[in-house]
Amino acid sequence: MTDVISGPDTGASSEGSESVDTRPPGDIDRPMEWAPAEPAPKKRRLGLWVGLGGGALLLATIGASLVLIAPGTTVAGVAVGGMTPGMAADAINNRIATTDVTLTDVDQEAQVSGAALGANVDAALLAEQAFAERPMWNLGAWMGDSVAAAITLDADTATSALRAAVPTSFTAATDAEVVFDADAAKYIATPAASGTGISVDDLTVAFTEAVNKGETTLEFSGAPTSVEPPITDEKATAGVEQLNTMLGTIGFYVGDERTVPVAPNVAASWLSVEAVDGELQIIADSTQIQRTVDTLAESVNREAVPAKNIVDSGGSVLRTETEGATGRELADTTGMATEFAAALEKGDAAYPLTVTETPFETTDVTRSLTVDISDQRTYLIENGKVVKSWLVSTGLPGTPTDLGHFRVRAHVPIQDMRGTNADGSKYVTKDVPWVLYFNGDEAFHGTWWHSNFGNRMSHGCVNMTFDAAKQVYDASPLGLEVWVRE
């Protein structure tokens, strides 16, 4: 008996072998059948794999719809549907850069590209806005209206490219200028002159329209057109007015007082006027300003000056003979020149100074005049003391000077004096100087027709030498008390 079981496809032979009944008990009557040996069947997962592929495709489609712009979206003439914002921005920038402009109406046509013209658009912003407003997942946003872009051309870059392409179309314009006229001590304007060129503004409009229509080329006239300079006569005139107004106020101030005015020629050495981005701009030189700042203390610092008032016997102020002035000392000037330069560039020509002030004192002087008929002398009295006196000639017995207490009522520098003699006849005295009226037609005055001072000579007036009359005239404010005594 062998331990090898033979049968079809077992690899064992049945020749010379005994037949062995391997049927289990109870199966004795069921005939034995051999089946070919087969490998165990593999599990079938086809349905599963098909399901996974469809799901992945679905997920990919959903994912794409979350990062792509909706189909049918056009921005700046570029179809950006199905693109990411980054791809769309690149496509827009490329379209702007490669759009060609053919310049016509010239001897030989020339072409310039958007890149050469400095064409620019915020493509990244446009693309992000397109995605935000029209994402692919939003079916309602599909096939929307075209989105126009605002395109700019860099003025300097475009002008340079156009000039290189068509040099015959360009002649230089002349800016108006603002200059200082030293003889007139003020600013004046020199006139502008037009030039020729190709309008970058007009080309920008045409370029923008073409791109937004989806066109990649356009024609534009390269024939010369009049070109105004950036600095026009109007701008220069406005600059002149501003600067000349500044010249009228420029200086260093203590309060409202322009303590240190700045002469026009000095101010002009501080200031220049330059064209910046098509506008006139004031440029101030702090180094030049510092030269004046270094001398400020000499002009600003001072001792306090007492005030002196002339008052009457009742204390009423008749005149301020000396104006009081506060003492002052200039504070630290570090940084002042730089600060003033910045202010001047903004059009502010008044620089406020910081000072330490010392108040002044006020003195009242009680002043009066006394005419002594007996002495034929006039006395100037201050605070009860005689400070000056002069020989005079008062009225004759027939036309005496009135006694009493009077006040100065009028000042007349020179006049013809008329009156009546004791006998009733009339007289006229020409060119009487320094007339100081105090009682009707009685007055102190200068006398040229006699020199007999110290004796009665007049028709009631107080005759004095010219010099004495001028001193009394100047020392006597309106309302000054005059005493006439014997």
Active site residues: 445, 461
Residue carrying structure tokens 């037949």: 19
Chain centroid offset of residue 38 CA: 99
CA 2 to chain centre: 118
Please tell me the distance from the alpha carbon of residue 195 to that of residue 172, in angstroms, as a whole number.
Answer: 5
